[in-house]
Amino acid sequence: MSDFSVLILDKKPGETSFKSLNEVKRCHRGSKVGHTGTLDKFATGIMVVLTGEATKLNPLFSGMDKKYKATIKFGSQTDTLDPEGEIIYEADKPTLEELKKSINNYLGNIKQVPPEYSAIHVNGKRAYERIRSGEEVVMAEREVTIYNSSLISYDGKIAVLDTHVSKGTYIRSLARDIAISASSRGYLTALDRYEVGPYSRADITGPTNTLENTHELIKRVCKEELILDKNYKKKAINGFLDKKGIIFSSSNEDTYYRILIDDLLFGVALKEGSRYSIIALTERGNT
């Protein structure tokens, strides 16, 4: 049996996404461990983590949209756009009407410039590393989608925003741009990612998970299934998915499929044209 699990973690503030995986790595010693979306050190919230063979399923999880609760402080802006940076601009604070109008300006498909202090690679090196070594960095604009943003509260200085965004959206950049559009400056003082795709805090697993619950989590992003005859199990373990062994396919679309044997998750395959390719298996080696 190989290590194969999907985990839902709740990252604490003050630790990097990398450090937040330490307990998982101890529990899955010798296996690969990876997360599907970084959270800033000051931020909290949901992280989807894959272990062992399941790390090969990153494409299934990395494109999911996300929901955040963001706390924005107006009147100044830091170089990092978060509470860990140095103040580089100061400005008046926006009125409630200015803020509401600005929030509405950043809905739908928008162009966004990521923060200079980010892990994005610029000519082979992370942007924040170049900045800290004294280099000037020009971040390329990218298109992202803001599905919804609603103002929860505003006391004339600090606003709390609930926002639903696409993959690749930087909430630090969104806070910066909303503030500038409202004739002010601003930065995030807190950020909580409370949903990633279909996952929320109700799905928290901790550092380990059963194969059965891993299957339930995968079902939410991989709807289709293949049922494989158990007599073809050995061929599949060795990486060959024999069409003769497929008892049932829930679709004929080119997409990902969960492979089931005797109602148990056995792996995930990708269909391209008439060919199925095994992406990851819950078991490896000889049987």
What are the phi and psi torsion angles at 245 (to 5°)?
Answer: -90, -5
Query: What does the alpha-carbon distance between residue 226 and residue 221 come to, in Å, rounded to a whole number?
Result: 15
**Active site residue: 3, 40, 177, 192, which one?**
40
Start-to-end CA distance of the chain, whole Å, equals 10
Q: How crowded is residue 75: how many other Cβ atoms within 10 Å of its Cβ?
A: 19
| E strand or H helix at 183 | none
Rounded (10°) CA dihedral 241, 247, 251, 257: -40
Q: Determine whether 40 is an active site residue.
A: yes
194 by DSSP, 3-state: which? strand
Q: Which residue is associated with the tokens 């999880």? A: 61
- Hey, which residues are catalytic here? 40
